[in-house]
């Protein structure tokens, strides 16, 4: 199996990150991979925000957990609590992918996201793709967080990627060949 296929098959959602910060070289590799993503008509409808401010990540985590605890549906809160009680799993780095709202913005942001997680896998880092980042961004402190994160006002949240050194490994999910039809 070639290295690309190996990275695809071995990548999993990491939910226990070490405190070890990413190096500048690791961040540059991931940013380069992000910006190399193809996009419809090469419009590149994204904006990437790289967050290494651990205190800010932890503040958003706490605000997100507070919002989930107050929600009518406690299932997300309970699931995260069963995994250690941290929405962002102690990750030292967070990539926030914003999209411009254009026709292909969400799709192209997903392609960029896949580039980042596979690049991270290839250099020995763990990742977890997170949509739950929208919880603190939409919380009562959301505007404050958006300002501190320097999120572009003319873009919408697409996806977040937690990144760092994994404490423990995990077996990737089993592929389901029943979800494929050949014509």
Q: What is the pTM of this model?
A: 0.94
In a domain, 51, yes or no: yes
In a domain, 181, yes or no: no
The range of the structural domain enclosing residue 114 comes to 11-168
DSSP 19: S
For residue 163, tell me if it sits in a domain: yes
Question: What angle do the packed helices 24-35 and 105-122 form, to 10 degrees?
Answer: 140
**Coil/strand/helix, residue 123:** coil
Burial tier of 1 (Cβ tally within 10 Å: 0-12, 13-18, 19+): exposed
Structural domain includes residue 85: yes
Q: List the pLDDT tens digit at each of the 183 positions of the chain.
A: 899 999 999 999 999 999 999 999 999 999 999 999 999 999 999 999 999 999 999 999 999 999 999 999 999 999 999 999 999 999 999 999 999 999 999 999 999 999 999 999 999 999 999 999 999 999 999 999 999 999 999 999 999 999 999 998 888 888 899 999 999
Instruction: Find, among 125, 47, 59, 119, the residue nearest to 88 by Cα.
Output: 59
Total count of domains within the chain? 1
Could you tell me if residue 109 is inside a domain?
yes
Q: List the CATH number of the domain containing 45.
A: 3.40.109.10
């Amino acid at each position: 199996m070639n290295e690309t296929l190996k990275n695809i098959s071995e990548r999993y959602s990491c939910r226990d990150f070490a405190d070890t910060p990413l190096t500048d070289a690791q961040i540059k590799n991931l940013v380069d991979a992000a910006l190399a993503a193809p996009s419809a008509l090469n419009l590149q409808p994204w904006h990437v925000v790289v967050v290494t401010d651990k205190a800010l990540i932890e503040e958003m985590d706490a605000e997100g957990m507070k919002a989930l605890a107050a929600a009518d549906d406690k299932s997300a809160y309970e699931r995260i609590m069963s995994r250690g009680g941290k929405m962002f799993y102690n990750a030292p780095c967070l990539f926030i992918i914003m999209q411009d709202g254009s026709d292909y913005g969400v799709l192209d942001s997903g392609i960029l996201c896949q580039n980042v997680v596979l690049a991270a896998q290839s250099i020995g880092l763990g990742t977890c793709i997170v949509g739950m980042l929208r919880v603190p961004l939409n919380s009562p402190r959301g505007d404050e967080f958006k300002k501190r994160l320097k999120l572009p006002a003319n873009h919408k949240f697409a996806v977040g990627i937690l990144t760092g050194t994994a404490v423990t490994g995990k077996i990737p999910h089993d592929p389901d060949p029943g979800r494929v039809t050949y014509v």
